Chains A and B, each alone.
Chain A
Amino acid sequence: MNAPSDTIAQYNFAYLDEQTKRMIRRAILKAIAIPGYQVPFASREMPMPYGWGTGGVQVTASIIGPDDVLKVIDQGADDTTNAVSIRAFFQKVAHVAVTTHTADATIVQTRHRIPEEPLKEGQVLVYQVPIPEPLRFLEPRETETRKMHALEEYGLMHVKLYEDIAQHGHIATTFAYPVKVEGRYVMDPSPTPKFDNPKMHMSRALQLFGAGREKRIYAVPPHTRVESLDFEDHPFEVQRFDEPCALCGGMDVYLDEVILDDQGGRMFVCSDTDHCEERRDAGHRGHLAGEDGPPSSISEGGTQ
């Protein structure tokens, strides 16, 4: 019998072997050269489940170096369990510095949100993508959707959006809202709320998208047009919240609805926890913010 303890312990820097990194790096370069096109890559099994960020993790592992500063968010927050888990993974396998401050990060790996603070030149935003194919729910077959992209045949998507308008008076897609990149490829922005779509347009940061289970990588270079699909008589609109963040008073940010009791009591707070804390540190206060220090712990799941 093998001695697993001897054989399992050794992993390369950032977990992936160099051959795998090269393969992913080549895919990333092609993705950057063909913005919005989904490059097939030989995604590996990772030590976390498919659907839990393996694509993003493979992209980050292939680009990260010892000088990088990594931020990982899920739902906009640094302390959601899967973000904690992925951050800990890179601390362990790549010994990199980590941060919760968007501005201090060189690489931000995200699931479902784009930070509120505009990203800067040189930063890289890595998205975890579950279903990279924007046409997948209209046409489940890869053989068909690949042809549609090749022929730039996106009529089906417009028909779908228009059916929404006919039925509801407006487009009934609120997240993973399809975009067109540099006037050519229709692309899935990953399941970010459409609130975040405008942030992708002409961003100063490089945006990389990794879909591990579906084995696709795609990219949007900095300063690239990313336009949400719409119609002249029904222009694209983002969600608006009626109230500011209850903690920092921020307007024009994406908010989480927090249920306070079973009597319908609720409050709205920033989904981007770093943004919220920075604003509070700068003295901004919402109507439910306490006077003392940062929020402390109330939940310790897993204990008994």
Chain B
Amino acid sequence: MYVAVKGGEAAIRNAHRLLADRRRGDRSVPALTLEQIAGQLSLAVDRVMAEGSLYDTGLAALAVKQARGDMIEAIFLLRAYRTTLPRFGYTRPVDTAAMRVERRVSATYKDLPGGQLLGPTFDYTHRLLDPELAEDQDPAVPEARAADDEAMPRVSDILAHEGLIEEDGSLPEDREPGDITREPPEFPMQRDLRLQALSRGDEGFLLALGYSTQRGFGRNHPFAGEIRIGAVEVEIDVPELDFPVTLGRIRVTECQMVNQFKGSMKVPPQFTRGYGLVFGQSERKAMAMALCDRALRAAELGEDITAPAQDEEFVISHCDNVQATGFVEHLKLPHYVDFQAELGLVRQMRREYEERRRAGDEATTSREAAE
């Protein structure tokens, strides 16, 4: 007698207990604390905040722990939480010119007001595995100097004085910035919405697309005008008050690409911009985002759209890793009803194929016999 498969609830319960056990690992080793994750795996936490679109190091650390270090799973956890939060209002745009800068480099000028500031970077580290890190040893205390009050103007502002770079992107008069988490996407898409999508887009996907533009698939002649990392103030307007209220500080990474542009029918020769801004410290993501932003402005600047990175629908529809992982992984859900339908079809087509072949063989045989 055939016995149908049952017991889904018990199976799920047991699978989740097993998951919790594996997550904990060897119980003779102390469990990770959220402070450890937030403090020592801070770039992982930053990525989860950036692509999870929620600035909360504690929750992001929890997500990293709960996801066993699976970044996309952690991003998903944070997104699913974020979506339940009430929306109180929209902050003012952050002023990155007023950033408390921790790192600032420009590839377009040797020196500039405010100077080059390397900050906590992997750049110029020799990628040699460090055995000392395997031990619990305190590193040397970093050198510190008193902060000076020298202003650190953005490179794009410096170029703008000369009129050699396009105006900073501004929205048409009557357009309020959109919100991709509150409105369904519509193509063609405005740049404000594209930038939001890119800012939470998958680092790896944008990295590959940005890279492809450098290799000639939609080349846009980029210079890293400036990359800055640091803390900016978040302010909100309150209707009853005539000054903005500061909610706090967040760390962000900003990249301004300066792209040489020969001009087109629409636009005179000048430098154009590609822009990247992400939560936390992630230069790779901010730079890739800036390359993609510039590539996606092809239509606006009258350039031919020839490469994947310039294709708005392709890039925006596929850059979200929470969407992508869900749909790719849904293939492991049962599909046996559809498979049964296809099985029936292939069997039928195979029968028809064999019949045609037999008929062909017979025709050949009888022709040969006739000859």
Contacts and interface: CB of A to CB of B under 8 A. Distances in A.
B11 A81 contact: yes
Contacts of A40: 184-186
B337 A297 contact: no
B322 A45 contact: yes
B187 interface: yes
Contacts of A168: 349, 352
Contact of A303 (B11, B35, B337): B11
A147 to B, nearest CB: 11
B83 interface: yes
B11 A301 contact: yes
Interface residues of A, number: 81
A96 interface: no
A11 B187 contact: no
Contact of A84 (B9, B16, B341): B9
A142 B318 CA distance: 13
A192 to B, nearest CB: 8
A112 interface: yes
Interface string B326-340: 111110011111101
Contacts of A79: 5-8
A174 B326 contact: no
B2 A288 contact: yes
Contact of A297 (B7, B16, B325): B7
A41 B10 CA distance: 35
Contact of B56 (A2, A50, A257): A2
B8 A80 contact: yes
A113 interface: yes
A130 B328 CA distance: 11
Nearest to B344: A239
A47 B80 contact: yes
A213 interface: yes
A302 B15 contact: yes
Interface in B61-95: 61-62, 76, 79-84, 86-87
B182 A42 contact: yes
Nearest to A303: B14
B12 A84 contact: yes
Contacts of B87: 19
Given A1-B57, A79-B6, A175 B341 contact: yes
B323 interface: yes
B83 A45 contact: yes
User: Chain A at the B interface: mostly helix, strand, loop or mixed?
Assistant: loop
Interface in A89-144: 111-113, 130, 140-143
B171 interface: no
B363 interface: no
Contacts of B84: 11-12, 15, 17
Q: Which of A11, A46, A50, A113 has the most CB of B within 10 A?
A: A50
B4 interface: yes
A263 interface: no
A50 B184 contact: no
A49 B329 contact: yes
A300 B334 contact: no
A260 interface: yes
B326 A49 contact: yes
Contact of B341 (A44, A83, A140, A239): A239
Given A42-B183, A79-B6, A141-B313, A254 B18 contact: no
B333 A74 contact: yes
Nearest to B77: A47
B85 to A, nearest CB: 9
Contacts of B184: 40-43, 215-216
Contact of A295 (B3, B18, B56, B337): B3
A235 interface: no
B342 interface: yes
A256 B12 contact: no
A82 interface: yes
B340 A257 contact: yes
A256 B325 CA distance: 28
Contact of B322 (A50, A174, A299): A50
Given A1-B58, A50-B326, A298-B3, A75 B336 contact: yes
24 contacts: A1-B35, A1-B38, A1-B61, A45-B76, A46-B80, A49-B76, A50-B323, A50-B327, A51-B326, A75-B337, A76-B337, A79-B5, A83-B8, A112-B338, A172-B349, A174-B341, A174-B345, A193-B340, A193-B341, A247-B2, A260-B2, A289-B1, A299-B7, A302-B15
Interface of A: 1-2, 4, 8, 11-12, 15, 17, 19, 40-47, 49-52, 54, 74-76, 79-85, 88, 111-113, 130, 140-143, 168-169, 172, 174-176, 191-195, 213, 215-216, 239, 246-247, 254-258, 260, 267, 269, 271, 273, 288-290, 295-304
Closest 9 CB pairs of A and B: A50-B326, A302-B15, A51-B330, A49-B326, A174-B341, A40-B184, A1-B58, A290-B1, A51-B327
Given A4-B62, A40-B184, A175-B341, 17 more contacts: A1-B38, A1-B57, A4-B59, A12-B84, A45-B76, A45-B322, A75-B337, A113-B337, A169-B352, A213-B323, A247-B4, A254-B340, A271-B337, A298-B3, A299-B11, A301-B14, A302-B18
